[in-house]
Amino acid sequence: MLHLRVMDDPENQDLPPIPRDLYSEYEDRPFKCCTRCGETLSDFDGGYQVSKAYRKGECVVEYALCEHCRNSMMDEFSDDSKQRLNQFHQQAVHHQGGIDECSICSTPRSGGDVEDFVITGLCEGSHLLDSIMICGTCGDQVQELLSSKTKDTWRRFMDDHFPGPPSLDELPEPINLRNLPQVPSKFGSGPSSDPF
């Protein structure tokens, strides 16, 4: 369980600041509020998690979760997923590269070979406590560890906090306007008046 008190411990004052890579792209500053509950992150005694997902080098999703919301969301994951993720983390994840290299396969983020990746930082106040990067290939391996229940929890979080266009599966079939019956018009009919 994540519970930190960096500010109360003078030894922790030497921790690095949150890097710009973990700032909100939208606001061009450090995250101020929890994406899930909306509370101010500095109002919590515990730390918070910042995550940003990139596709083809562009940030497509970013969020911050306070300790309470992060733990609540994890509680919604299936026991099987939590067990598999914990085992995978113990066996395959290292923290030496921070957000600069994949914490599983050690592929560097810079150099153009990695276009899809997720970076995550564990923060408190303005301090970075820990961070990882997972490349798209390794992220796919992690996804295979998740149960349907856990994937549904994640999908609900995304739907609730990142509204956007519906997926292609949800869109109605396109209509071929040429196959619709001709409707008489005061502008004439026939091929010369067909705007399509």
- Whether residue 106 lies inside any domain: the answer is yes
Whether the pTM exceeds 0.95: the reply is no
Distances (CA, A) of 101 to 30, 97, 162: 22, 5, 27
How confident is residue 166, by pLDDT bands cut at 50, 70 and 90? low
Q: What is the pLDDT of residue 14?
A: 83
Residue 165 lies in a domain: no
In a domain, 7, yes or no: no
- pLDDT digits 0-9 by tens, 6-54: 444 545 568 999 999 999 999 999 999 999 999 999 877 779 999 999 9
Provide the residue range defining the domain that includes 145.
16-149
In this structure, how many other beta carbons lie within 10 angstroms of the beta carbon of residue 91? Answer: 7
Q: Residue 10: what pLDDT?
A: 46
Average pLDDT, the chain: 81
Q: How many structural domains is the chain composed of?
A: 1
Residue 111: pLDDT over 80: no
Q: Once rounded to an integer, what is the mean pLDDT over residues 86-107?
A: 92
Q: Is residue 172 part of a domain?
A: no
Domain-embedded: residue 98: yes
**Structural domain includes residue 173:** no
Higher per-residue pLDDT: 14 or 93: 93
- Spatial neighbors of 92 by CB under 8 A, at least 6 apart, are 104
| 22 and 99 Cβ atoms separated by less than 8 Å | yes
In a domain, 4, yes or no: no
Q: Is 196 inside a domain boundary?
A: no
Helical H runs in 52-181?
A: 67-76, 79-92, 136-143, 148-161
Q: Are 76 and 111 spatial neighbours (Cβ–Cβ below 8 Å)?
A: no
Digit-coded pLDDT (tens) for 68-86: 999 999 999 999 999 999 9
Contacts (Cβ under 8 Å, ≥6 apart) of 116: 54, 55, 56, 135, 136, 139
Of 60, 63, 61, nearest to 35 by C-alpha is 63
